[in-house]
A and B are shown apart, each in its own frame.
Chain A
Amino acid sequence: MTKRAGMEIAFAAAEAVALCKPDVVAAYPITPNTHIPEHLSDIVADGRIDAEFICVESEHSALSACCGASATGARTFTATSSQGLLFMGEVMPIVSAMRLPVVMAIGNRALSAPINIWNDHSDIMSQRDMGWISIFASNGQEVVDMAIQAFKIAEHREVLLPLNINLDGFQLTHMVEPILFPDQAEVDRFLPEYKPYATLHPDKVLSMGTLGMPEIFTEAMKAKDVALINSKKIILQVWKEWEEQFGRMYEPIEAYKTEGADMLLLTMGSMGDTAEVAIDELRKRKVSAGLLRLKLWRPFPIEELRNAVKGAKVLAVMDRAVSFGGSAAPVGAEIRAALYGEPDRPLIINEIIGLGGRDVTVGDFIQIVEKAAQAEKEKPEEAYEIYGVRGS
């Protein structure tokens, strides 16, 4: 039986992972993800799941240990944030190239300096091109659902790629929400046992992680790219199966009151729930605005995006990271590129907001929609703006 419980989202994430019966968990403490592995270690200590919990001495070793464990055929989980994700950086592209379905929760946090433990998306954006499936949750229920979906997607024989679930540090990790938990039997029905494609074992000797010369490297990169692009089909399939079994629908881009809307906001992560309230308010004021929540960051849902923005006049893309000296912020630049060839594309403005834990309020989104309306009249010169800079 599904049960409803009020729980801190980090704890809920750990409970969801436990329902998936991981074999090996390796993690290193860093705020704000820490409650996830902490609670998992509780679950292991209480014997609720049979898993090896490795208290590694660094994030680099956390992902390295996951890489080794996954290579033996173990279901493997880790979690981190910020500098910890950077420290894992060396191992990130190796895990994906070796097609090891490690699942990782990222409690998104700003990168130093100045040191700051609060939320933005600069950690994951630095790891954008590592070949991982990358999914953003906007609330606790999504975190729980996505954590269970994650293993099924990553371990699918046609995918075999690592996957990260992004949940905003503090705004999500430390928030208490009412969450629906499926019971063990339901999860067992949804999630099959991991059947690895190749494992490290003397009964079938093989070499993993060999040297690729220029003659083979391009082909290896092509194969990785194709694998990530093709994973979308399975992601959609797993989401469909989830909806059929649990009744909650997941889409790469979720639309809210976008029909006939002139202005669209596009958000990732927890900002989506705040933006929804802003859209309700704007609709009350007869402003023609809607919201797109981008949930699937990699593989990037190009087709879904093109369909979602059809008919809109202005698209305001929110970014929670800066691409210093770049043409726009990461999401803004991506979306501009994806829509460049569209004959009737909307005007795109790119707002960088909520850096290092700065609050993002309903009022901010209302202001940004006003900016969007203004932009439609007088095309802005700047490709992007860092929103709300004090003293400017």
Chain B
Amino acid sequence: MSIIVENFDLYAPRLVDKEEYFSAGHRACQGCGEALAIRLMCKALGKDTVIVNATGCMEVVSSLYPTTAWKLPWLHVAFPNAASVGSGVEAGLKVLRRKGRIADRDIKTVSIGGDGGTVDIGLQALSGAMERGHDLLYVCFDNEAYMNTGIQRSGATPFGASTTTEPAGSASFGKKAWKKNVAEIMVAHNVPYVATACHSYPLDFMNKVKKAVKVKGPSYIHCLSVCPTGWRLPPEQCIKAGRMAVQTGIFPLYEVEDGKYRMTIETRELRPVEEYLKLQGRFRHLSEDEKKVIQERVNQEYKKLMNKVECLPSWSDLKE
């Protein structure tokens, strides 16, 4: 897989839909990982899709009336409710199809939100939608802070990062809590397909999107989306930062199908987290001690994950 990624330009024309559903001309910052990820996601989804967008950067940069970047049917309602609006869209399409009022074919509802709209204010709606079992894909584009409103701390902000509401200062090293792991929370909902992803591994991400939409029922993808503006790194470093997040083990890429964990990007040996941290201004203030704490935590979390990969069988293998 990593070979394909290294030679993406070579393979992409044959593997990726040429149709653009998220068109150029939107107002995202230079080097926006989320805009790239959404473009890739739409290519993987194809035209029979309805997108429900939580409030955030993406609705702001893509839907400035009277323009729109969306070539898929798209609905934005509010910040915390992409999952519940998606529930309604899914139910509406289902019942109208059953009653013969719309064409008789599968149309997938996909709700998307940033980390604020997913991990914090939208978590209840997300949990409800997943518990109810709607035929709904939810994709969180996690850029690890409230970037739209100006880099405020969220539940997805990593330990030690400096944000505008939990900044580093002479008496603080930035965020003091660890990042909330929503992918695991979704696994705990017994969602049949859960995956982590990153735009820096485009084919991996698109394959996961394709897999997720094939699931009858709820599915969840947590896509790390590098935000050069908020992470304080040059726009051209966006892809590199995403790769470093994966290769240092700070954001491993895996999928959980019916409870069975599988690493989709294998990393033989993890790079030191320092290589990831040093790319970004938001970690600039960290001392060696604090970096060590992060390294230890990453090692521990990675071991926990590998333990699940090795030990947890698929739910279907647990019968009898």
Which residues does A use to contact B, with CB under 8 Å? 23-24, 26, 50-52, 54-58, 60-62, 64-74, 76, 90-91, 94, 98, 199-213, 216
Partner of B92, one of A70, A204, A205, A208: A70
- Does B48 make an interface contact (CB < 8 A)? yes
- Contact (Cβ within 8 A) B87 A208: no
Partner of A210, one of B50, B65, B107: B65
- Contact (Cβ within 8 A) A64 B85: yes
Pairs A-B, 6 closest by C-beta atoms: A68-B88, A57-B128, A72-B92, A65-B88, A61-B84, A69-B92
- Contact (Cβ within 8 A) B88 A213: no
A94 to B83, CA, bound (A): 16
A76 to B74, CA, bound (A): 19
Query: Quick one: CB contact mask for B73-90 with A, threshold 8 Å, 1 for yes?
Result: 111111011011111111
- Does B271 make an interface contact (CB < 8 A)? no
* B-chain residues with CB within 8 Å of residue A73 when the two chains form the complex: 92, 96, 101-102
- Contact A23 to B96, CB < 8 A, known contacts A56-B84, A60-B84, A205-B70: yes
Task: Find the A residue at minimum CB distance from B81.
Answer: A64
- Does B94 make an interface contact (CB < 8 A)? yes
* A-chain residues with CB within 8 Å of residue B80 when the two chains form the complex: 60, 90
* B-chain residues with CB within 8 Å of residue A90 when the two chains form the complex: 78, 80
* A-chain residues with CB within 8 Å of residue B76 when the two chains form the complex: 207-210
* A-chain residues with CB within 8 Å of residue B47 when the two chains form the complex: 202
- Contact (Cβ within 8 A) A72 B128: no
A72 to B73, CA, bound (A): 10
- Stretch of B33-41, B56-64, B198-206, B223-231 lying at the A interface: B56-64
- Contact (Cβ within 8 A) B65 A71: no
Partner of B132, one of A23, A54, A76, A216: A54
A74 to B132, CA, bound (A): 20
- Contact (Cβ within 8 A) A60 B89: no
* A-chain residues with CB within 8 Å of residue B63 when the two chains form the complex: 207, 209-211
* A-chain residues with CB within 8 Å of residue B53 when the two chains form the complex: 209
- Contact (Cβ within 8 A) A60 B81: yes
Listed by A's residue number, 18 A-B pairs whose Cβ atoms lie within 8 Å are: A24-B91, A24-B92, A50-B99, A64-B81, A68-B77, A70-B88, A71-B88, A72-B102, A91-B77, A94-B77, A204-B73, A205-B71, A207-B74, A208-B74, A210-B63, A210-B65, A210-B66, A211-B64
Partner of A61, one of B87, B99, B102: B87
A203 to B101, CA, bound (A): 13
- Contact (Cβ within 8 A) B92 A71: yes
* A-chain residues with CB within 8 Å of residue B92 when the two chains form the complex: 23-24, 52, 68-74, 76
In the complex, what's the smallest C-beta–C-beta distance from A211 to chain B, in angstroms? 5
* B-chain residues with CB within 8 Å of residue A62 when the two chains form the complex: 84
* A-chain residues with CB within 8 Å of residue B101 when the two chains form the complex: 73
Partner of A201, one of B64, B73, B83: B73
- Does B44 make an interface contact (CB < 8 A)? no
A284 to B60, CA, bound (A): 66
- Contact (Cβ within 8 A) A68 B132: no
- Contact (Cβ within 8 A) A61 B95: no
Task: Find the B residue at minimum CB distance from A216.
Answer: B65
- Contact A211 to B60, CB < 8 A, known contacts A54-B91, A58-B124, A68-B52: yes
* A-chain residues with CB within 8 Å of residue B95 when the two chains form the complex: 23-24, 50-52, 74
* B-chain residues with CB within 8 Å of residue A58 when the two chains form the complex: 84, 124-125, 128
- Does B98 make an interface contact (CB < 8 A)? yes
Task: Find the A residue at minimum CB distance from B109.
Answer: A68
A55 to B134, CA, bound (A): 11
Partner of B73, one of A23, A26, A205, A216: A205
- Does B93 make an interface contact (CB < 8 A)? yes
- Contact A61 to B50, CB < 8 A, known contacts A54-B88, A210-B76: no
Task: Find the A residue at minimum CB distance from B80.
Answer: A60
| Most chain B beta-carbon contacts within 10 A, residue among A70, A72, A76, A212 | A72
* B-chain residues with CB within 8 Å of residue A201 when the two chains form the complex: 50, 73, 93, 102, 107
A14 to B7, CA, bound (A): 61
